[in-house]
Structure 1
Amino acid sequence: MERLTELRKSLRVKGEGEKRELSHIINKSASFLPFQTRNPERAKFNDGFLPVVGEFIRNSEGLKIDKPVETEKVIEHIKAEVRMDSSDEPYFEKVIGNFISGSKGMKVIHPFMYKYVPLSDNQEAVGEKSIGLYLNDALLERDNSVFSEVFDKTDQEHVLIKLVREHMPALDEDEIENKYTQPLEYVSDFFKEDLNFLSHHKDFFIQYFELLLAYYYFFSITQFTMKVNQMDKADKSGPTPLYYNLDWEASSKNRAAYKRGYSQVKTAVRNLLVHVNTLEHLNFIFETKNADYLELLELYESASPDEQESIKQAISEWIREYASIVLKEEVDLEDDEAVHDLVKELFYTIKEGYSQPSRSGTESRYALGVEQIGKKYFLKTRGSLGHTLNVSQDFLLLMTAVCVRSEKLSLKQLFKELEKRGLFFDRQSRETIQELFDKLNLIEKKSDSGDAQYVKPIL
């Protein structure tokens, strides 16, 4: 069948009879996540999210960096342009060196410096590079106009920053492939809104840009994990509720963060690689690119009766063929199964394929793409409760700043804005947040009722 020809090529189906085999290749017809199945190439974020941020900025500007910038050369170039006595040169070199270099490498003294932050000098650079591209494709959607002003702004610039900017090396241009897609518009919409707001406050931008990007990456991949596991029942109009604890509060098994928090992600992520494979195969069968379950079913519903029959036959044939190659067994299918049921049957067949000894551990390694970034920033181990989603005070103030913006906002509305961005809190956490805002003098009270309490702008 013609619909299966390209799929067989992509999966490298070869051999005859019992010796037929295939490779579980993904990200050809459906690229939703930048995860690695090989441990050495997976980003561990030992140096934080900064290497990813650097790659993201270069991607957004169509640039590449081949090797780390040598700060000594930058200092020499600056020194050659500045008139001074030879006796002052060592002092000048020290001042410039301390200004642009720290214990962890080059300092980000201005947003333009982000593009000079290199990837890690090990195999994790592969994973970091993929995440940087994902942020550019799936979150920014290649629209760097939402924050480019903060990189180009030079008015009232410190004289040393001006000197450094003028003497940093030019980066080579790069043709950046458009690879990843974002099926959840609310993620990319809020990302661009918040990034745009943050870019108008340069110092705050430098302080929190890395954390904002890390969160939206985590928000995007956890929401996709939840939605894809719901298959055709997913609601893409807004976030699936995932509840967080505050870093400084106690928790228990009765709290929403335990019952409806990371435990839900852990359950869904077990199926993630199988869903990614299922969508890969279905996009070939439907002869489309980067469509999720809901989009594929919409395509099916709008197709002619003949096309619908062709799609169903192709899915049925592929289920049988996959089962015979991978499971070495025959699969019985009803003659007139609904397309929804065939899609689920394909998912369960691939799931069984991944349970084979030869693929042992692949699913769990892929799922580490969620856990790794979570453990770095947004998860906390709480004894017998295990990991719960976690919000630090710094992160809470960052997200409050981008939600409230420049006009005061009712406390009730603030919690709604946080939920739109994936941050859900139960009653106890909300009360704790209110107490914190009171201590920080961020609450403007008009009465004792929650509706009449307003959160002041932070910026």
Structure 2
Amino acid sequence: MLKETLTPPDKNAFGSFLPLRTKDKHYKFCWDTVLGFFVHLLYDKALVKENADNFKNLCKKRITEKVDEDELWTVLEKMYFENDELYKVSPELLIFKAVKEDISENDKKMGAMFGGLLNGFSLARSPESELNFLEKEIKAEFDSFYVTGEKADDKYKKLPTYLPFLTDYFQKDLAFLNKHPHYFLNNFNAMIRLYGFLYISQIALSIKDWANGEPSSKPCFFILDNERASGERAQVNSFGYKQLHEYIHYLFPYLFMNEALQPSDNIRPLWQLYAELNEQNNSDQQQTLNKLNQFGNEFVEQRVAAKRFNNDQTWHNQESIKDAISELLNVTYAQFDRKTGRLAQYNETPVKGMVNRILNPFIQKRGKAGQVLTFNQDLIVLLTNLAIGTQDKLRFHELIKEFEARGVFFDKQSQQTLIDFYERMGNVERMSDSGDAVHVRKTV
């Protein structure tokens, strides 16, 4: 549970759950590489040495041996090996986007975040029912790389998730998309950007709720990007961007302390750590409390000596494990608070890194209303198809419940805008004027 010996770390740093670090350079990701890295985890395939050009030569050899037409290869090369057309054959071929001499540490850390969200889940392969003869040959050549059964690195497949509920939906949605490979390919990047946002936003909104057990979806309100923002929309203003931006500031300090308390080979989410500590017998709980109080005292003394605070900080021994963890989180956060600490700029870097490099597709500035969270029409269609999944259609209120279960909330005004949007698309069935009688069909 806790480290056998708890010693305050010299630096505020951690490497679990989210790719948060304190320098701007750490937020320079290549999303194509992250996508390829994710694909190698999703289909449980080792990263191959062959790049796309080497693969093209192997395909040329394979196909020209089967089709005795000299001019055919020139045509095929233009069809499948120019302008990224190769990646439209099968989702698995996106792995070539991660084939480089050396994948950057930033890309690996972003990939690790998605590895944790996957939580060991993988797909056997994508179906070939939509492929023509030539595409099947290309896919067969790709599959031949893996006849030895080489798999993805276990260290990424065994990463824990912070949000089991969101991992369940992620796995379910990926399995659904895998049955529709062409649609999957067209929306793969949008899919990982969507779930990257949902994972970070829901961890942020759950991070202070660690004492109440396993997290569930927390309200996070969006508007559609063609809607007007208004100060009168209470849910959008109270539980939208403003709330999310506030809670993001707690991620780095809290996740750092969570990791500082645990052995490096078995780091659990903060809520799980507390639950396990709280389930101990009375004798073990007392020993745990003593360790936490001693650690807290040493931590504060060390940080005071290093001049990490603007005011006096003293550790007062706590009388319960819950209070001890809560106080540890408070003094950790105090280092980064603008009023009480001297490390505020080090926390602003991960906040800005997340907002500007990961969450940015969902954030818009709307005049006097300020920053709001938005969904564009393409993302609404994707989310709608995911929510309906293997069913043909859902009642509108059931669809909204599926959105909310994934962490996407819309107020009544946005819900009416959604219905209007679906009606323009032609995928609505109205049984009456009642909202409960509106059924929405998927488009895939």
**2:53 corresponds to 1:70:** yes
1:14 paired residue number: none
Offset of residue 176 of structure 1: 3.1
| Cα distance change of structure 1 residues 129 and 65 upon mapping to structure 2, 3 Å threshold | farther
Q: CA deviation at 1:303?
A: 1.6
SS at match of 1:144: coil
Deviations along 1:314-357, one digit per CA (max 9) or x if unpaired, are: 11111221122221288544455332222122112222334698
Question: How far does residue 80 in structure 1 lie from its aligned partner after superposition?
Answer: 4.7
For residue 370 of structure 1, report the CA deviation from its aligned partner.
2.8
Rounded Cα–Cα distance in structure 2 between residues aligned with 1:195 and 1:68:
26
Deviations 1:115-174 (A, max 9, x none): 212268998x322222223323x22222213xx342xx3346323313333445837755
* Residue type at the aligned position of 2:230: S
Q: Is contact 2:428–2:438 with CA below 8 Å preserved after alignment? A: yes
Q: 1:375 Cα deviation (Å)?
A: 4.5
Q: Does 1:299 align with 2:276?
A: yes
- Asked if the contact 2:119/2:159 (under 8 Å) is kept, the reply is no
CA distance in 2, matches of 1:414, 1:173: 37
- Candidates 211, 236, 247, aligned match of 1:232: 211
Alignment correspondent of 2:333: 351
Q: CA deviation at 1:243?
A: 0.4
Structure 2 unaligned spans of 5+: none
Please name the residue that 2:145 is paired with.
Answer: 170
> What does residue range 185-204 of structure 1 map to in structure 2 within 5 Å?
185-204=164-183
Distance 1:333 1:126 in 2: 37
8 A contact 1:41–1:127 mirrored in 2: yes
Q: Residue 70 of structure 1: SS of its match in structure 2? A: helix
| Aligned equivalents of 2:5, 2:13: Cα separation in 1 | 13
Match of 1:372 among 356, 369, 384: 356
**CA–CA separation in structure 2 for the residues paired with 1:314 and 1:340:** 13
Partner residue in 2 for 1:205: 184
1:170-225 deviation per Cα after TM superposition (whole angstroms, max 9, x unaligned): 37755331463213221011111111111111221111122122211211111111
Is 1:248 matched up with 2:222?
no
Asked if the contact 1:401/1:457 (under 8 Å) is kept, the reply is yes
Match of 2:302 among 325, 330, 337: 325
Mapped contact 2:6–2:261 kept (Cα < 8 A): no
Q: Which residue in 2 is equivalent to 1:267?
A: 246
Q: Which amino acid is the alignment partner of residue 160 of structure 1? A: L
Residue 264 of structure 1: CA displacement? 0.9
Give the CA deviation at 1:84. Answer: 4.9
Is the counterpart of residue 394 in structure 1 residue 372 in structure 2?
no
Distance 1:41 1:231 in 2: 27
Structure 1 position 33 matched with structure 2 position 18:
yes
Tell me the equivalent position of 2:77: 96
For 1:413, the aligned partner's letter is E
- Give yes or no for contact 1:218–1:373 (8 Å, CA) kept in 2: no
Structure 1's 458 and 79: CA in aligned 2 closer, same or farther, altered over 3 A? closer
Total equivalences in the alignment:
428
Residue 319 of structure 2 is aligned to residue 337 of structure 1: yes
Report SS of the residue matched to 2:429. Answer: strand
Q: Which moved more, 1:374-383 or 1:213-222?
A: 374-383
Partner Cα distance (1:149, 1:135) in 2: 19
8 A Cα contact 1:51 1:117, kept in partner: yes
SS in 2 for 1:312: helix
- How far, CA to CA, are the matches of 1:374 and 1:4 in structure 2? 32
Once the two structures are superposed, the pairs formed by residues 363-442 of structure 1 within 5 Å of their partners are 363-405=347-389, 406-442=391-427
Matched, 1:109 2:89: yes
TM-score (norm 2): 0.85
Distance in 2, matches of 1:117 and 1:235, equals: 35
Q: Cα gap change, 1:331/1:456 in structure 2, threshold over 3 Å: closer, same or farther?
A: closer
Taking a change above 3 Å as real, the CA distance of residues 254 and 234 of structure 1, as seen in their structure-2 partners, is farther
Which residue of structure 2 lines up, in the alignment, with residue 55 of structure 1?
37
Contact 2:394 2:439 in 1 (8 A): yes
- Unaligned runs of 5+ residues in structure 1 are 12-21
Tell me the alpha carbon deviations over residues 408-454 of structure 1, each in whole angstroms, 9 at most, x when there is no partner.
21111111111111111011111111111111111111111111111
The residue type equivalent to 2:12 in the other structure is H
CA RMSD in angstroms, aligned pairs only: 3.1
Q: Distance in 2 between matches of 1:160 and 1:288?
A: 46
Q: Flag the 1:397–1:336 CA change in 2: closer, same or farther, 3 A.
A: closer
Equivalent residue in structure 2 for 1:280, among 248, 259, 267 = 259
Q: 1:95 to 1:254 in 2, by over 3 A?
A: same
The TM-score, its normalising length taken from structure 1, stands at 0.83
What whole-Å deviation, never above 9, does each CA across 1:299-325 have from its counterpart, x for those lacking one? 233222222221111111112211222
Letter in 2 for 1:458: T
**Quick one: which amino acid aligns to residue 82 of structure 2?**
S
Displacement, 1:283? 2.6
Structure 1 counterpart of 2:303, one-letter code: V
Query: Secondary structure of 1:388's partner?
Result: strand
Q: CA deviation at 1:231?
A: 3.4
CA distance in 2, matches of 1:114, 1:359: 40
SS in 2 for 1:37: coil
Partner SS for 1:348? helix
